[in-house]
Amino acid sequence: MNPIVESIKDTPLFMGMSGLELNAVSAFLEPRRYVAGAVIIRKGDPGTEMFIVRSGRVASLSVDGDGNQRVLYQFGPGRFFGEMSIIENETRSATCTALEDTELLVLDGIDFYRLVWEHPMIGSRMLSSMARVMAGWLDEASGFLHDLVRWGETARKRAVTDGLSGLFNRRFIEESARARFSRGSGEPPTCSALMLDLDRFHLLNERFGTEAGDSIISTAGAAYSRLVRDGDVAARLAGDEFAFFLPDASADEAIAVAERIRSETEALYLEFRAGSGATPNRVSLSASIGVATSPGDAADAQMLFAAADQALFRAKESGRNRVVRYTR
């Protein structure tokens, strides 16, 4: 059995999960060792990770009014801490140190949100387990679970999504692409990236105003969210710039997806008024898209998106409303 799965299968956080679910979780957990007395997190630091004690003991510390350090809580094997800073998007509320030589399993914040987003059942069980354990610690009322899920949902959306388009944000798509490359066998994986600009968006924004521009982005985002395949990632980068990451797509598959997105964009239209009382103007949209594929076009995630961006530039230079594949 996977050694990480073996060490987490009976912990309260993952209680009741199947072997497949535990294997999926274990891929996101990083073992990390601390010697006795080492500081793990400091009060006031950004909260970007949560921790599960694999062995050893950890103390949560606070300073009282007299300046004396007090132990608030001790975490032994199977216990977890640091999750609320991720859920609430807040700084650390306490300092935690290793009371003895300790091994932790570390879950990065972005991976926590990916688990909740990509594996809803795993995310739901983790949040429920957190609620049960923390309810015991804090002796909270029955409404605690509802509040925890609500906090987690708000924090997840804020961390990984773009509010205007409803798609993922730049951080999430870049992390997803880097993770795909880092989990390979040493050879660059087969995957593709699309870079998309809405044609003449800035002219429309200037003519009809920022509210119209926001409506265009929202409409395009809703369309793109329907078009991506299971496992693909659609994101808004900034302004009218969008990106798509297709983890297992060949060049031909990526071009087919890009053509479908371009065609759907061309079918979209909105109506705007240039001013109060003016006749409505029917506005059609179009998009230019650049396509790049690994391993032929790039050896890492950064190179992949850079190649797709170069192809996008050529698509715009050659007349817009078209798909162009990257060529060296």
Beta pairing, strands 287-294 & 269-272: unpaired
Residue 64 in tokens: 């009282």
Taking the alpha carbons at both ends of the chain, their separation in whole angstroms is 45
The residues that bridge with 29 in the sheet, in sequence order, are 107
240 is catalytic: yes
Q: Is 69 exposed, middle or buried (0-12, 13-18, 19+ CB in 10 A)?
A: exposed
DSSP 8-state code for residue 189: P
Beta carbons of 305 and 321 less than 8 angstroms apart? no
Of 240, 248, 300, 309, the active-site residue reads 240
Chain centroid to CA 222: how far?
18
The residues that bridge with 235 in the sheet, in sequence order, are 168, 243
Chain centroid to CA 260: how far?
25
Query: Which regions of the chain does DSSP assign to beta strands (E)?
Result: 29-34, 39-41, 49-55, 58-63, 69-75, 80-81, 95-98, 102-108, 191-198, 233-238, 241-246, 269-272, 281-284, 287-294, 323-325
Nearest to 197 by CA among 328, 311, 325, 326: 311
Integer Cα distance of 253 and 178 in angstroms: 21
Q: Is 216 exposed, middle or buried (0-12, 13-18, 19+ CB in 10 A)?
A: buried
Catalytic residues: 240
